[in-house]
Every structure is written in C-alpha cells, then in structure tokens.
Amino acid sequence: GAGVSQSPRYKVAKRGQDVALRCDPISGHVSLFWYQQALGQGPEFLTYFQNEAQLDKSGLPSDRFFAERPEGSVSTLKIQRTQQEDSAVYLCASSQGRTRVTEAFFGQGTRLTVV
Amino acid sequence: GNSVTQMEGPVTLSEEAFLTINCTYTATGYPSLFWYVQYPGEGLQLLLKATKADDKGSNKGFEATYRKETTSFHLEKGSVQVSDSAVYFCALDQAGTALIFGKGTTLSVSS
C-alpha cells in the first residue's frame, strides 16, 4: 500500500480480554516502531524492530505487552488481560533506514478503549 | 533523561496571523530535532527537521531553527491558514534512542 496501515481503527475490549493490533508497514521498510499515545499526551515509544529482529522493547510497560514481526513485514502488538490504563491510541511507524534518525512514516493508529 | 517541553495549547489564531509554538529540549550530546503534525483524522506526518546546531528546517511556510545555546526549536509561520489547523508535536531523536515527543500543541485557525 501507499502508507502504513493499521487495523482495526477502533477496538473496545472488556477488562481482562486479550487484544491484537495489526500494522502493515510500507513495503520494503526495514524499521518498524510501536508507540502508545494516551489522551492529551505525545506518543511514547514501546518497541522497535529491524526486519524480524526486535532490537528494543524497553518501552513495553509490562509483560502483558508483546510484539512480533515474524517475517519482517507485518507486525502485531498483543496485549493480554487488558486493563483500563491500557486505553490509548497505538501508533505504528516504519522507516526505510536501519537507524532511527531517518524519517518515520506513521499509520493512523488504533484507538483501544478498555471498559 | 532526554525530554521535550512544548507550549500548552490550544493556540487560537485568525487567518494570516503570525504563529510561534515554543519547544525546548533536554538531552545529552547532539540530538536531531523534529516537528510532526497531525491533521484531523490523519496519522502523524513529518513537517520539518534539523540535525545539527544552527540548522533551519523549513516546509510549507513553517520554519524552525536548532538553537543549542537555548536548547530550543521553536516553530514559526508568518501567515497561518485555516488548513494549518492541526496538532503539532516537537520531538527529538538521539542516536541509540527512539523518538521522544512533547505533549503536542493544538492550533486552531479561523477565517
């Protein structure tokens, strides 16, 4: 596709439910990032992939959060046993380069609401 | 640790007014600095960037100068348009770290 695509756009989950958020990066982009954006805040880094390798997961807030990119393209962010504090917009971004300084293209995000 | 502080909004202006959105940063070394914009219903887009001190980034009439002495990267535009209404994020990227964003400033321009 022409840009970074995320699905679903909106997700409502009951507390305790597991969710999976999908990111389709721009074709050929090596680097992929996940960010979490709480209401009224800027995006905060969660994790970073270079191809299929997860090189940095220091931003994942707990072991309930898990991300994968098994074939170096599509990525999935999974949240187990969702809590109300997980409510946020989850942004995916990809970039062509192997460093993080190069321009990253963002998807529209998935808005997760935990009730 | 590294951080970005930008002025709180919302900023409300009339069309053709001058715009300044302040951004200051805290970082060790020499980060790259960015402004991202989020139009309603769209994803974050890179607006402009500067990679070293005294560099000026510019795009779509917006400008920002990397000032190391004041650790600032203020966004300016001489004459705003209604179409500039959006949320603006200042961010920094230092080698070995991910993008660090400010909280965002909402700009609303009326005709």
pLDDT, average across residues B82-110: 90
CB A64 within 8 A of CB A78: no
Q: How far apart are the first and last CA of chain B?
A: 41
Does pLDDT of B73 surpass 80?
yes
CA distance B23 to B18: 16
Q: How far is A92 from chain B (nearest CA, A)?
A: 10
CB A106 within 8 A of CB A23: no
Residues of B in contact with A44 (CB under 8 A): 101
Residues of A in contact with B44 (CB under 8 A): 43, 91, 93, 106
Q: Which residues in chain A land under pLDDT 50?
A: none
pLDDT tens by residue, B9-39: 899 999 999 999 999 999 988 889 999 999 9
Which residue of B43, B93, B97 is in closest CB contact with A107?
B43
Does pLDDT of B96 surpass 60?
no
Residue with token string 């070394």:
B29
Does pLDDT of B1 surpass 90?
no
Does pLDDT of B103 surpass 80?
yes
Q: How far is A69 from chain B (nearest CA, A)?
A: 18
Confidence of residue B97 (pLDDT cuts 50, 70, 90): low
CA distance A8 to A98: 27
Which pLDDT score, from 0 to 100, does residue B95 have? 63
CA distance A90 to A59: 13
Residue-averaged pLDDT of chain B: 93
Does pLDDT of B64 surpass 80?
yes
Which residue of B42, B49, B104 is in closest CB contact with A42?
B104
**DSSP-assigned letters across all residues of chain A:** --S-EEE-SEEEE-TT--EEEEEEPPTT--EEEEEEE-TTS--EEEEEEETTEEEE-TT--STTEEEE-TTSS-EEEEESS--GGG-EEEEEEEESSSSSSSPPEE---EEEEE-
A81 SS3 class: coil
pLDDT tens by residue, B83-94: 999 999 999 986
Residue in chain A closest to B96 (alpha carbons) equals A100
pLDDT tens by residue, B36-58: 999 988 889 999 999 899 999 99
CA distance A33 to A54: 10
